[in-house]
Structure 1
Amino acid sequence: MAITAQLVKELREKTGAGMMDCKKALVETDGNLEAAIDFLREKGLAAAGKKADRIAAEGTTFVLEQGNEAIILEVNAETDFVAKNDKFQVLVASLAEQLLAAKPESVEVALELEKDGVKIADQISTAIATIGEKITLRRFEIKTKTDGDAFGAYLHMGGKIGVLVQLNGTTDAAAAKDVAMHIAAINPTYVSRDEVSAEEVERERKVLTEQALNEGKPENIVAKMVEGRLGKYFEDVCLLDQTFVKNSDQKVRDFVKSTGGNVTGFIRYAVGEGIEKREDNFAEEVMSQLKGN
């Protein structure tokens, strides 16, 4: 398979590894991106766990709670200046109210919703004409609870990161907000180990095994080392296994248990995550490196 500059660039962004290391990994794995990530990790050239998707687009996240319903959404703009504009903020709050009331199943359906005879798509177009920048409704999610449960909402840096978490079995909204703050800071992928697929665990075990062997560890202790490192992996990605940011002597699971509730799920949005901002001359830089090697 031909190794393109774009593929090298994508692998570099996901792993933080050097350009030529990324090229070598892709050559070794015949262009398979996921296999190349594992290859780099086995060689100790990439960060474990999460993919480092770059945050580029501006805008804001927003959370609206109304009784037993809540919505979290992300609306993007071109500059941080516009994201702080009062008219932009009013638009975001209005979109949240309309979406929570109608509960559309997708952004595409949401754009067709009407308020006073004006579609959301047209409301956004009007805002674009007034504010002077491209504005997009990127994503949203709606949650429903009972009277015996609690929502926890937290917006960090004025909405650069937004979190909505749900605790069932407790009405302690303050505790739920503390959990939301933890999620904003630590960015777990799952609630608990039960959510991690067997395939992902086995893949991680394989990577950790190769990593240990490449470090020159004796084979008779590698298995034990791998299980220990696997535990650290779960701490990195699973909310309940993590050390609580507000009390380093306590795991999140213990804090939640003390409230009498349990975490049923969470949504964490970081503005622009996964949206790539154009970088002048980067493609040319990669291409010249590829041609020269």
Structure 2
Amino acid sequence: MAAITAALVKELREKTGVGMMDCKKALTENGGDLEASMDWLRKNGLSKAAKKADRIAAEGLVAVATDGSTGAVVELNSETDFVARNTAFQGTAGEIAKLAVSVGDDVAAIKAAKMASGTTVDDHLTNLIATIGENMSLRRAALVTANPGVVASYVHNSVVDGMGALGVIVGLKSTGDAEKLAELGRKIAMHIAAGAPAVALSVDVDGVDAAIVDKEREVFAAQARASGKPENIVEKMVEGRIRKFFEEVVLMKQVFVMDPDRTIEKVVADAAAELGTPIEITGFERMSLGEGVEKGPEEDFAAEVAAATGKA
């Protein structure tokens, strides 16, 4: 049996990121065998992670990564915003975003991909849950490509470079100057992040779901008829409202937040004229942290501590 020295405990801690006391216990349980102790910690980490798996994770980070003509945005959740400031969590979010650029936006495929450490994303997250002590979840990922061209990104109120609570990626297909395309793409991404005047649903009119348009027509028609207007006037009113609807939810029809005198369509056309080559927005993704997640009731931390210490 190897002696359980401070150096051995330190080595195990550096390899696993687990606390000193847990490392010492693992080495004691496994006769000082480093590899067996790592396995022991992992097995116990799986147990700890399982207990935390049903806890709601709606905080965390949105991370973006781009590589020329491809870009990805991912959402890595945790239980509290405190964890979003943890460097290990931030490093994980950033590496996952970079993996998504090459792996794609399928969450299962990303979880099965190998990280720089050699472990899969899924196993890495399990170990991180055990180390930090909070449930974590890779909730979603999205990909945009523009070949030839560039994918630009923007993170609003970033915590660290490429990570924050709101991330946007935009693809610009063009043979124009990559640096100028990236600058244009970033400005459009900032516009999308601002959500002004409304969050865009698609790049162009054809991309808006027909069912959504039909529903809006029904609502507008009912409102117009309620005013007592004749049917021919109702039709004109509905078409006018639909045009206004498209101006709100179609990216190309939106008024550019940085220049209210131009639409995004005009901004792109002006840039294409300047570069002397066509520019096409191939797609965009806007990801806001925790959107759509139903959070549980706020926990009373003081009451939880009192209950744990038997002083409730």
Paired residue type of 2:100: L
Distance 1:218 1:104 in 2: 53
8 A Cα contact 2:255 2:263, kept in partner: yes
Aligned to 1:257: 269
The 5 Å alignment of 1:1-293 reads 57-101=58-102, 103-104=103-104, 106-115=106-115, 116-146=117-147, 148-158=148-158, 159-169=164-174, 170=176, 171=178, 172-186=181-195, 187-260=199-272, 261-279=279-297
Q: Flag the structure with larger Rg.
A: 2
Paired residue type of 1:182: H
Query: Identity of aligned pairs, percent?
Result: 39
Paired residue type of 2:251: L
Distance 1:219 1:105 in 2: 47
Q: 1:254 to 1:122 in 2, by over 3 A?
A: same
Q: 1:144 to 1:198 in 2, by over 3 A?
A: closer
- Shift in Å, 1:75: 0.6
- Shift in Å, 1:69: 2.6
- Shift in Å, 1:256: 1.0
Deviation per CA, 1:10-38: give whole Å up to 9, x if none: xxxxxxxxxxxxxxxxxxxxxxxxxxxxx
Distance 2:185 2:146 in 1: 13
Aligned to 1:33: none
Distance 2:84 2:265 in 1: 35
Q: Which has the higher contact order (CA 8 A, sep 6+)?
A: 1
Deviation per CA, 1:136-174: give whole Å up to 9, x if none: 11111233333x412220111222111000011243111
Paired residue type of 1:164: I
Distance 1:222 1:189 in 2: 26
Paired residue type of 2:172: L
Give SS of 2:151's match. strand
Deviation per CA, 1:65-102: give whole Å up to 9, x if none: 2233322111111111211222211111122233334x
Give SS of 1:118's match. coil
- Residue correspondences, number: 223
8 A Cα contact 2:64 2:73, kept in partner: yes
Paired residue type of 2:152: G
**Structure 1 spans left out of the alignment, 5+ residues:** 1-55, 281-293
- Shift in Å, 1:123: 0.4
Deviation per CA, 1:218-248: give whole Å up to 9, x if none: 5442211111111111111100110000000
Paired residue type of 1:112: A
8 A Cα contact 2:71 2:152, kept in partner: no
Q: 1:99 to 1:199 in 2, by over 3 A?
A: closer
Distance 1:119 1:193 in 2: 41
Paired residue type of 1:185: A
Distance 1:58 1:279 in 2: 14
Distance 1:69 1:198 in 2: 29
Distance 2:172 2:104 in 1: 24
**Structure 2 spans left out of the alignment, 5+ residues:** 1-56, 159-163, 273-278, 299-312
Mean Cα deviation higher: 241-250 or 112-121: 112-121
Distance 2:209 2:66 in 1: 32
Instruction: Please provide the CA RMSD for this pair.
Output: 2.0
